[in-house]
Structure 1
């Protein structure tokens, strides 16, 4: 049919005029309709090619972002697991300090652990959750680039954790700061300096531990604060376990989606 239209288009202008002059409107109308159809077909084909190109570009961009999400998630999982491990360690240290109040012999049995527990029990470690890819996609208004609705919802839920935890993280930092002030006076000057050097693992004698324990027992506000440290870190642990589960579930969804993309 296209060849037929081409032949009609190649009719000289004079001949076309002659067709009209010779009172042959049907043939002239056919020629005009053919011109219109060719133009419409050309436009439709051009639009289809343009749409296909745009979709192809979007699929390429989607795959790039999925890979970025996956890479960031691997780092985030490592940070979360580190935070979970440190948080558990600090709970154990705070619980140990609480037990020593009624069982002073524990101090002499674990002198170095006791000393370091006073230093580290109140520390907090907030996992760094990288969200660069998600924020870039969200700020550009292109979240719909992720076609899988289940995956898109999982991404939004996972990355909302950093926003929701912002206020709670502030509470953790506030508790850490209070702990820092309350423990002042428990260590000697040289012990404070030694504790500040993370590259030196110093062992403390039972005599040092006993003297430190006596100073700790005279700090009633510090002793009263220990249960709040444990309470806070238990809540933190639940929060970290939650985001860890979210991250693992998201990791599986991303893997399934990337595998599907690689098969296409």
Structure 2
């Protein structure tokens, strides 16, 4: 009887140990699998963050260039108003300024990485706050910017179609070769234009429009640069 009990205990211990080894092995296997999946997700997240940083740098550069064009429009508008108010004489440089007041831009964001993130799933970005900021920039702030850009461009094109044709030889704001925004607009009759109240109104209105739009541009440059900084910090944290 004692031999039977001893044998039973021996078998129970052996089987229990074997079971324990199997269970521990399964747990380790699951743990390794989870670690591998977590590692893959982290690598993917770092990769898309690096791509977003590159696109944000491109966007910041594009916005800064657009700001310069609209600043030139404001400067040219002020020069023209000064000449008109002082009843100055026409000179060739004014033709450049007449064109520059109509500078319009098209912001084309580098959307590739953001589109990749959408296809991967926004949850790829584990930091919820950062994820929401990325979505807000591309789906909200950029849309507001582009809508205002469209309105300004349409206003300028409206002047082109219904006003400038009666007062200028041609509408030439952009030329085919660099520096592109170097067109010329020569008045048909400068002295007559000098007395035209509607033209002064349009110039003053364009100053306000360019300035307001540039405020949006500058705000977005700040947002883009701040988001880029946060993406860089997140990469450091993930590593």
TM-score normalised to structure 1 length: 0.73
How many pairs are equivalent?
A: 231
Q: Kindly state the Cα deviation for residue 235 of structure 1 after the two structures are TM-superposed.
A: 1.0
Runs of 5+ unmatched residues, structure 1? 1-21
Q: Kindly state the Cα deviation for residue 203 of structure 1 after the two structures are TM-superposed.
A: 8.8
Q: 1:155 to 1:86 in 2, by over 3 A?
A: same
Q: Kindly state the Cα deviation for residue 54 of structure 1 after the two structures are TM-superposed.
A: 0.8
Query: In the alignment, does 2:131 pair up with 1:152?
Result: yes
Larger-gyration structure (1/2): 1
Q: 1:195 to 1:244 in 2, by over 3 A?
A: closer
Alpha-carbon distance between aligned partners in 1 of 2:86 and 2:8, rounded to the nearest angstrom = 113
* Alignment check: 8 A CA contact 1:179 1:222 kept: no
RCO greater where, 1 or 2, for CA within 8 Å and sep 6 or more?
2
Query: In the alignment, does 2:89 pair up with 1:112?
Result: no
Match of 1:89 in 2: 72
Alpha-carbon distance between aligned partners in 2 of 1:227 and 1:203, rounded to the nearest angstrom = 20
Match among 206, 218, 223 for residue 241 of structure 1: 218
Match among 44, 48, 51 for residue 68 of structure 1: 51
* Alignment check: 8 A CA contact 2:96 2:183 kept: no
More off after superposition, 216-225 vs 122-131: 216-225
Alpha-carbon distance between aligned partners in 2 of 1:33 and 1:97, rounded to the nearest angstrom = 94
TM-score normalised to structure 2 length: 0.80
Q: 1:73 to 1:175 in 2, by over 3 A?
A: same
Match among 111, 129, 134 for residue 131 of structure 1: 111
1:136-187 CA-to-partner distances (Å, cap 9, x unmatched) read: 213432x333334454344334333212334323212211211222211222
SS of the aligned residue for 1:147 comes to: coil
